[in-house]
Structure 1
Amino acid sequence: MIERSPVLVIPSAERPIVDGTIVFTYVFMWEHGTTEEDLYQHRGRAAIALGHTSLLSHSYQPNCSFIRNIDELTIDILASRAIKAGEELTIDYQMTLWFDPQPI
């Protein structure tokens, strides 16, 4: 475990406001039985992670994974392999990207 981040839940009714801002690029889907790709449906709750979690970069070969603990209102960041000192922490965003990812 690298980090357990508390989250701020964005209610479904507020999604249209938030989804139209830069904040949308930092949120996680926050409904049981959903994936990050479901964010593009613009329905249901979303959440923004506190701590460092929302700052993690995307990689198709990430060195970390994340677990959404929906009922506990937290996200766990777990190391997927040994990580060297100074190495950037990355996760797979698990969704169609809105940018062209740069190789690490």
Structure 2
Amino acid sequence: MKIKFREIKNKGLGVVAIKKIVAGEVFEEAPVILYRAEEEEYLEKTALGNYTYAWESQWGAIVLGYGSLYNHSYHPNARYERDFAGKSMQYIALCDIEAGEEITINYNGRIEDLSPTWFEVF
């Protein structure tokens, strides 16, 4: 295991590398729990509402493992890739990530997407 969750100042829980992760490495593959898109309104009323991912057109996903703990950045050091057939999410390093460094992803799904998120980004 090369990652660990911990409290990140001013962000809450997040994920950090505990061993060096090299660019291009898949450092986590997390299973997902799928739910129907029309159930989203119920999830939004719970703590899980902030931890969902879009999946396929009629589905959303709750990612297990550390998948729902990665913090957002418009300059991420990792990306995620959906495996629809395998019902899992892969997290891949965009660059070398040193031990102790926080791992971030762009919540918009594409690295270059600078669209506003549903929360204020610091």
Tell me how large the CA RMSD over aligned residues is: 1.5
- Which residues of structure 2 form unaligned runs of 5+? 1-25, 109-114
Higher share of residues assigned strand: 2
Higher share of residues assigned helix: 1
* Structure 1 residues 19 and 76: alpha-carbon distance in aligned structure 2, compared to 1, 3 A threshold: same
- Which residues of structure 1 form unaligned runs of 5+? 33-43
Considering only CA atoms, is the larger Rg found in Structure 1 or Structure 2? 2
- The alignment status of 1:17 with 2:37, answered yes or no, reads no
Residue by residue, what CA displacement relative to the aligned partner does 1:5-51 show, whole Å, maximum 9, x if unpaired? 0001112342221133331211111106xxxxxxxxxxx21101100
- Map 1:1-104; keep pairs closer than 5 Å: 1-31=26-56, 44-94=58-108, 96-102=116-122
**Contact conserved, 1:56 with 1:90, CA < 8 A, in 2?**
yes
Supply the distance in 2 between the matched residues of 1:24 and 1:97 (Cα, whole angstroms): 14
**Matched AA of 1:28:** Y
Supply the distance in 2 between the matched residues of 1:56 and 1:14 (Cα, whole angstroms): 23
Residue by residue, what CA displacement relative to the aligned partner does 1:52-95 show, whole Å, maximum 9, x if unpaired? 11100000000000001122100000000000110001000016
Shift of residue 100, structure 1, vs aligned partner: 1.4
**Matched AA of 2:71:** S
Q: % of aligned pairs identical? A: 34
**Contact conserved, 1:69 with 1:75, CA < 8 A, in 2?**
yes
- Normalising by structure 1, we get a TM-score of 0.79
Bigger mean CA offset, 88-97 vs 14-23? 14-23
Q: Which residue of 2 aligns with 1:35?
A: none
- Normalising by structure 2, we get a TM-score of 0.68
